[in-house]
Amino acid sequence: MAKATSWSDPPTKTLRAHGVKVRKFDTSATPGFKGNKRAGEELLAARALVLSDLQEKLYANGRSGDQRSVLLVLQGMDTAGKGGIVRHVIGSVDPQGVDHAAFGVPTEVEKKHHYLWRIRKELPRAGQIGVFDRSHYEDVLVVRVHELVAPEVWEKRYAEINKFERKLVDEGTTIIKVAMFVSLEEQKKRLMQRLERADKYWKFNPADIDERAYWPAYQAAYQDMLDRTDTEYAPWYTLPCDHKWYARLAVTELLIDALQSLKLDWPPAKFDIDEQKRRLLES
C-alpha cells in the first residue's frame, strides 16, 4: 500500500491559486505527488476511508446540533472531470451526508430571480458536505464570455460573491473552491471519446465543440475570477486535470484537510450510558 508520504507537499499548499497564470498553467502536472498513477490510485483507496470517517463525524455532529458544514465548489471547462470527482471522491462517503447540486442553464423560473437565488436554495445543511457541480461562478464565466448580461452587471458580481461567501463562512460553512483545468488538446481527446464510445454518447453535446472557439475568452474570465475571488476565507485551488487519478486524489486531500481543521470528535452521549445498558439488559 502506498504511504501518505507519497506527498512531498500537500495540495493545500501546491494548488493554492495565489498568482496562478491560467494561460501558462500546466494541466498535465501532478504537483506535490511523487508517485505514479498506480501509487496514486492505491493512496486514494486508503484516503477515501479517512474521508469517509471524517464525513461521518461531521454528520454525527450535525445531528447533535453543530451548525457547521463544508461546501466544495467545482468549476471547470467541459470534460475537466467534475462528474468523476463527484462519483469517485464524493461517492466514497455516505450519500446521506452529501448535499449535491448541479447548475446548468438557468430555468425560466431561475432567470426571474437574482443569480444567487438558486445557489442559496442548495447550500449544505448543518453536518453536510455540499458539492456544487458548477456554481454561482458561471455568472462571471459563461455569462461574461457570451455577453449574456452587460459588463457593468457582471463586473459587480465579484465583490458581491465575496460578500456572499464571507457570510456563509461566518455562519459555519467551510468553503473549498476548485478550478479544474484540462488542456485544449486533452479536451479534444475526451470529446472524441464521447463520439467513439456508445457508453459516452449521452455526454456529448455538439455545443461543446463551439465552446472551444471561446477558449481564450474563458481563460481570461477564469483568470479574473481567480484574481478577484480568491480569499483567505474561501480559497481557490487550481487543479491540473489531465490526469484524472491525480485530480481525484488531490480533491480527496483538500476535503480531508478541511474536515480535519474542524477538529471533529464523536458527539458525547446525551443519555446515561450505564442506565441505558441496565435497561437494555433487563428488557
Q: Judged by CB under 6 A, does residue 139 bind ligand ADP?
A: yes
Least Cβ distance, residue 8 to ligand ADP (angstroms)? 33
| Of 16, 134, 200, 212, the one binding ligand ADP by CB under 6 A | 134
Residue placing its CB nearer to ligand ADP in the complex, 139 or 242: 139
Residue placing its CB nearer to ligand ADP in the complex, 141 or 249: 141
Least Cβ distance, residue 111 to ligand ADP (angstroms)? 9
Whether residue 181 contacts residue 22, with contact meaning beta carbons closer than 8 Å, is answered with yes
Q: Judged by CB under 6 A, does residue 78 bind ligand ADP?
A: yes
Q: Judged by CB under 6 A, does residue 198 bind ligand ADP?
A: no
Beta bridge partners of residue 72, listed in sequence order: 131, 176
The helix (run of H) or strand (run of E) holding residue 191 is helix 184-196
Rounded to 10°, the helix 215-229/157-170 angle is 50
d(Cα 180, Cα 264) in Å, to the nearest integer?
29
Q: What angle do CA 143, 144, 147 make, to 5 degrees?
A: 80
Whether residue 91 contacts residue 129, with contact meaning beta carbons closer than 8 Å, is answered with no
How many other CB atoms are there within 10 angstroms of residue 48's CB atom?
19
d(Cα 58, Cα 129) in Å, to the nearest integer?
8
Least Cβ distance, residue 222 to ligand ADP (angstroms)? 13
Using CB positions, name the residue nearest to ligand ADP: 104
How many chain residues interact with ligand ADP (CB under 6 A)? 11
- From residue 88 to residue 127, the character string flagging contacts with ligand ADP as x (rule: CB under 6 A) and all else as - is ---------------xxxx---------------------
Least Cβ distance, residue 141 to ligand ADP (angstroms)? 7
Whether residue 30 contacts residue 240, with contact meaning beta carbons closer than 8 Å, is answered with yes
Which parts of this chain interact with ligand ADP (CB under 6 A)? 78, 103-106, 134, 138-139, 142-143, 148
